[in-house]
């Protein structure tokens, strides 16, 4: 009798488990089949991610990872973001800001939502940020594109010129960047090879660095034929904007001309107060009015670099040797073993240890404002600038 009750109890228990398992399975498969993928997506721009938001690191800088990007760059941008997350941001959860001259598609936002848990903000540019400014002559621009289309890469591209002008002088005023003190620029299809276990934004802040780079190549001379003469004229007319000392020699050769050295701005970590300063705004405005972003094809990299060298001292510019990085064309991989062990790249293939501009960066010394002005006047064939006031 007792063992019959036992058998009945066991059968009942098994039946209960069987029924509840079936219920669970059918429920989850029902959920899976009946809810379309799109219903996981919120309709706000910033919260497309179906995963719970990441919690921010306890102390963070006012900073974000920023890219100007096209919808068609989704695949390359997913690759970059995934690497940034794996190497660095899964620990820090800095927000991303994506800017575009076109509205971002749901496909782009959806694709990005799977590669980061951090907040993502999407912004579209104003029409005036992506158009010929009023002072430009459209017919002359058309002629310039025609003339240069086979002379150098992107020589015939108007959109590339809009991009360079925007990245040179406008991006830092976009409303989505208003509350940022620092930004880290990223691009689609770049590679990050090394673990970054610290916060580069706080590192910059704590050490007084205002510009950070990884690779410093030479610019194509034909794209910037009048950039330096225009810069010299601006300096001569605006000596009050030069600081007491600067690293300007890094971009000047023995004849007083531009030596084509620049920080490759597809990676840069910058204290945005540099670009938002009165001096930088005045410089950009002068360059913009001269028309060279369109009549030539001035890149944002030489513009940022000349400005950083002209407005900052050597100890305000930092080479992130530890950040192994590749953008199609050039690669940096740290050579010192204690850095390389954190990376998955081959330092013998690194461009940076062969780079002329990199060596120059290692050796360059600050010069005084008076010495800088003297060089500018000499190059322009003008009488020397007035001497500095006597030491008080």
Ligand X SMILES: Nc1nc2c(ncn2[C@@H]2O[C@H](COP(=O)(O)OP(=O)(O)O)[C@@H](O)[C@H]2O)c(=O)[nH]1
| Site of interaction with ligand X (CB under 6 A) | 67-70, 73, 100-101, 159-160, 163, 187-188, 266
**Residue given tokens 């059968």 in the structure block:** 11
d(CA 218, CA 379): 21
Residue (155 or 385) nearer to ligand X, CB: 155
* Contacts by residues 149-154 (CB-CB < 8 Å, ≥ 24 positions apart): 151/222, 152/220, 152/222, 152/223, 152/297, 153/220, 154/297
Active-site position among 268, 296, 316, 321: 268
* Contacts by residues 373-376 (CB-CB < 8 Å, ≥ 24 positions apart): 373/235, 373/236, 373/239, 373/242, 375/252, 375/256, 376/232, 376/235, 376/236, 376/256
- How many C-beta atoms surround the C-beta of residue 128 within 10 A? 10
d(CA 51, CA 118): 10
Which of 54-62, 109-117, 185-193, 336-344 is the region at the interface with Mg ion (rule: CB under 5 A)? 185-193
Q: Which listed option, Mg ion, ligand X, none, makes contact with residue 333 (CB within 5 to 8 Å by class)?
A: none
Residue (215 or 312) nearer to Mg ion, CB: 215
* Token output for 175: 């409303």
**Smallest separation (angstroms) from Mg ion to the CB of 341:** 28
Q: Which listed option, ligand X, Mg ion, none, makes contact with residue 61 (CB within 5 to 8 Å by class)?
A: none
Q: Are the C-beta atoms of residues 80 and 185 closer than 8 Å to each other?
A: no
Print burial letters for 321-353: b (CB count within 10 Å at least 16), e (below 16): bbbbbbbeebbbbbeeeebbeebebebeebbbe
**Smallest separation (angstroms) from Mg ion to the CB of 329:** 8
268 is catalytic: yes
Residue nearest Mg ion by beta-carbon distance: 187
Q: Which listed option, Mg ion, ligand X, none, makes contact with residue 70 (CB within 5 to 8 Å by class)?
A: ligand X
Q: Are the C-beta atoms of residues 279 and 311 closer than 8 Å to each other?
A: yes
Q: Which listed option, Mg ion, ligand X, none, makes contact with residue 116 (CB within 5 to 8 Å by class)?
A: none
Residue (29 or 72) nearer to Mg ion, CB: 72
Residue (266 or 352) nearer to Mg ion, CB: 266
187 forms part of the interface with Mg ion (CB under 5 A): yes
**Smallest separation (angstroms) from ligand X to the CB of 41:** 22
**Smallest separation (angstroms) from Mg ion to the CB of 153:** 11
Give the phi and the psi of residue 170 in degrees, each rounded to 5.
Answer: -125, -30
d(CA 309, CA 366): 9
Residue (188 or 302) nearer to ligand X, CB: 188
What does R_g of the chain's alpha carbons equal in angstroms? 27
Q: Which listed option, Mg ion, ligand X, none, makes contact with residue 195 (CB within 5 to 8 Å by class)?
A: none
d(CA 112, CA 124): 16
**Smallest separation (angstroms) from ligand X to the CB of 28:** 40
Q: Which listed option, Mg ion, ligand X, none, makes contact with residue 100 (CB within 5 to 8 Å by class)?
A: ligand X
**Smallest separation (angstroms) from ligand X to the CB of 282:** 25
Which of 244-252, 261-269, 277-285, 318-326 is the region at the interface with Mg ion (rule: CB under 5 A)? 261-269
Residue (157 or 374) nearer to ligand X, CB: 157
Active-site amino acid positions: 268
Q: Which residues bind Mg ion (CB under 5 A)?
A: 187, 266
């Amino acid at each position: 009798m007792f063992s019959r009750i036992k058998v009945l109890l066991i059968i009942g228990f098994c039946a209960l488990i069987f029924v509840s398992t079936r219920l669970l399975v059918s429920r989850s498969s029902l959920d899976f089949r009946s809810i379309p993928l799109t219903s996981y997506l919120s309709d706000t721009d910033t919260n497309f991610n179906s995963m719970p938001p990441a919690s921010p690191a306890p102390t963070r800088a006012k900073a974000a990872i920023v890219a100007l990007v096209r919808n068609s760059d989704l695949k390359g941008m997913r690759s970059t973001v995934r690497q940034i997350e794996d190497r660095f941001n899964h620990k820090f959860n800095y927000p991303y800001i994506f800017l575009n001259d076109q509205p971002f598609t749901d496909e782009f936002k959806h694709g990005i939502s799977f590669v980061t848990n951090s907040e993502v903000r999407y912004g579209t540019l104003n029409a005036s940020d992506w158009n010929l400014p009023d002072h430009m002559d459209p017919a002359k621009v058309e002629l310039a594109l025609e003339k240069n289309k086979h002379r150098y890469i992107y020589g015939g591209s108007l959109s590339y010129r809009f991009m360079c002008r925007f990245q040179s002088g406008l991006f830092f005023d976009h409303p989505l960047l208003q509350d940022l003190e620092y930004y880290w620029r990223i691009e689609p299809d770049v590679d990050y090879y090394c673990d970054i276990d610290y916060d580069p934004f706080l590192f910059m802040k704590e050490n007084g660095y205002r510009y950070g780079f990884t690779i410093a190549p030479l610019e194509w001379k034909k794209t910037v034929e009048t950039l330096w003469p225009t810069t010299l004229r601006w300096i001569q007319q605006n000596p009050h904007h030069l600081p007491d000392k600067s690293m300007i020699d890094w971009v000047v050769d023995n004849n007083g001309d531009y030596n084509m050295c620049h920080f490759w701005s597809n990676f840069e970590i910058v204290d945005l107060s540099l670009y938002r300063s009165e001096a930088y705004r005045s410089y950009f405005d002068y360059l913009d009015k001269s028309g060279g972003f369109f009549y030539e094809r001035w890149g944002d990299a030489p513009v940022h670099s000349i400005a950083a060298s002209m407005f900052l001292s050597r100890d305000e510019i930092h080479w992130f040797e530890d950040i192994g990085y590749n953008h199609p064309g050039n690669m940096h991989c740290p050579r010192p073993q204690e850095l390389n062990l954190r990376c998955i790249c081959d330092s013998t293939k690194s461009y940076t240890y062969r780079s002329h501009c990199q060596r120059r960066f290692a050796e360059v010394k600050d010069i005084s404002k008076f010495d800088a002005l003297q060089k500018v006047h000499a190059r322009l064939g003008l009488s020397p600038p007035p001497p500095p006031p006597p030491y008080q």
